[in-house]
Structure 1
Amino acid sequence: MISKDVLKKIRKLEIRTKGLVNNIFGGEYQSAFKGQGMEFTEVRTYTYGDDIRQIDWNVTARNNEPYIKVFEEEREQTLMLCVDISPSGLFGSHSQTKMELAIEICAVMAFSAIKNSDKVGLLLFTDKVEKVIPPKKGKKHVLRLIREMYTTEPTGNSTDIAEALSYVNRLLNRKSIIVLASDFEDQNFEKQHKITSRKHDLVNLVIRDRLEEELPDFGIVPLLDAETGKQTVIDTSDKKVRIEFKKKVFRRKRELDNYFVKNRMDFVDIYTNESYVRPLTNFFRKRINRY
């Protein structure tokens, strides 16, 4: 039984994200994610200016006048949402946790996809695959996916991106759009990640929170790693401690960004304290300009 609070969240999210899809992201999505190829639709008589390379010589010979083949872009695609629901996603220093932000962005992507008659599927993961819902079309299906993102209780305690992507690669035989939403608090995922990028159209949504990057001066505070359970006590009033913490986080961020760039992978950094509209719009437009 779904609680009233969850139903209220889903309804509010549907209204907010569908408005963004109708006004901003629906058209951007269609332009940014091209179909997988061209499919034959019909033959028609040749008219001046047509590409002579498309002449159908068999039909032309039978009718004693030139006919050409007409092709249309194969529009239907599959969008697979791979969402990290490990404990580190429960952190949020502003109005949303990282996980809630990931759910909202994935809802935008899902509603954009069904607006363009694409199928949408879902894989939720921690250090194991928690739930898989095969791709289908339709608004009811997308609402089910959102419900599952809100209500699925994870059993794993850490993050294994490689395990999730390995499952996706086995599940989807045809090239698809894979949206990976995670804070990327993981190691040694690169091999499977690169395989997925070659096989599919992989988009990495890196969900971040500013408080995880720069410590405020709060004095002596305990820090708990949500995924390992390890607790560390640090003195945040010590400027050297704050500087060293910031350097360490920045180094990890730079390594991840350089990895994406080096391997020509799409990625979007999105923070819990900022609107995701601008970074997502910029991402779509960069893709459109690229093609």
Structure 2
Amino acid sequence: METSELLKRVRKIEIKTRGLSSNIFAGEYHSAFKGRGMTFSEVREYQYGDDIRNIDWNVTARHNRPYVKVFEEERELTVMLLIDVSGSRNFGTVSKLKKNQITEIAAVIAFSAIQNNDKIGVIFFSDKIEKFIPPKKGRTHILHIIRELIDFYPEDRQTNIAVALEYLTNSIKKRCTCFILSDFIDSHNFEHALSIANRKHDVVALRVYDRRENELPAVGLMYLKDAETGESMWVDTSDKALREYYRKFAWEEEQKLINSFKRSGVDVANIRSDEDYVRALITLFKKRA
């Protein structure tokens, strides 16, 4: 993409998503995602009702009267975006590709994070780790992330979510909040890796899908090609039995995915590529808050 065109698209996304994160998501994001825990603040004299487990025995011994440690919530978060850049992201049948929807959602989360003084980093993945951007703060860092979201071209086209989750678990040492942005179309079983990652971190799934992945239109002969494997075939969509089989198969796969998220304890928002993602994100944030 030409540099001038890329900068125009970056600016357009910045204006839209920064406004959303300021006016709509700021409070929701702040209340939905807590800090990593409690951090030490000060030592003061023991008061009636204080937890004796917080007594600082060294200070108590020096002063001959009990002192306790005071803790406060650690607000600063590290936010990681796991971005699926496999071939299937380039699919879209109405007004927007899944790739474009993922880009806007990721930008909204990124701006919400820096407004909350949080660090944000990105892992781009296909069936391997394509690129890692370490967590940092600041507008310049966010714009760099948006540029990569718009103009990143992966080496591979297939999907392996487990690889991305394992990389997250091993590379990010402190607890973080992690958003996985993907269509979750993956022939590999990633539930085990998801459970492990969610025990160490706070993992949230943002599933971006297209409505034609759930049902076929009756439009006669249709040429279909798998964006990740390159396999192709002609399909007669006027065949009602075929359309019903496709719909049932898609529904069963979706149920498997829902059950995997439940068993792993991961919150999920399902966002269609041609629908407004604002309502889905606000619903998710309110549920967590």
TM-score scaled by length of structure 2: 0.91
Residue 122 of structure 1 pairs with residue 99 of structure 2? no
The residue aligned with 2:278 is: 277
In structure 2, distance between residues paired with 1:169 and 1:69: 31
In the TM superposition, residue 273 of structure 1 has moved relative to its aligned partner by 1.5
Distance in 1 between residues matched to 2:158 and 2:251, nearest whole Å? 22
Which residue of the partner structure matches residue 250 of structure 1? 251
Q: Distance in 2 between matches of 1:197 and 1:71?
A: 25
Pairwise CA RMSD: 2.1
* 1:91-117: CA deviation from partner (whole Å, max 9, x where unpaired): 111221111111111111111111111
Contact 2:85–2:125 (CA under 8 A) maintained in structure 1? yes
Deviation, structure 1 residue 2: 5.3
Report the residue type matching 1:108 in the other structure: V
Change (3 A) 1:2 1:144: farther
Q: Kindly indicate whether the alpha-carbon contact (under 8 Å) linking 2:84 and 2:124 is maintained by their aligned counterparts in 1.
A: yes
- Distance verdict in 2 for CA 1:116–1:242, change over 3 Å: same
Structure 1 residue 5 displacement after superposition: 2.0
| Pairing of 1:151-170 with structure 2 (within 5 A) | 151-170=151-170
Query: 5+ unaligned residues in a row in structure 2: which ranges?
Result: none
Which position in structure 1 is the counterpart of 2:50? 52
* Aligned counterpart, 1:238: 239
Structure 2 counterparts to residues 1-291 of structure 1, below 5 A: 3-43=3-43, 51-53=49-51, 69-186=69-186, 187-288=188-289
Unaligned runs of 5+ in 1: none
Distance 1:59 1:128, change over 3 A: closer
Q: Which moved more, 1:50-59 or 1:66-75?
A: 50-59
- Displacement after TM superposition at 1:204 (Å): 0.8
* Alpha-carbon distance in structure 1 between the residues aligned to 2:285 and 2:96: 23
- SS in structure 2 of the partner of residue 207 of structure 1: strand
The offset of 1:152, in angstroms, is 1.4
Q: Compute the displacement of 1:56 (Å).
A: 6.5
SS in 1 for 2:163: helix
> Amino acid of the residue matched to residue 192 of structure 1?
A
Moved over 4 A (4+): 43-47, 54-69
Give the counterpart letter for 1:275 in structure 2: D
Distance 2:130 2:170 in 1: 16
| CA shift for structure 1 position 262 | 2.5
How many residues in Structure 1 have an aligned counterpart in Structure 2?
A: 286
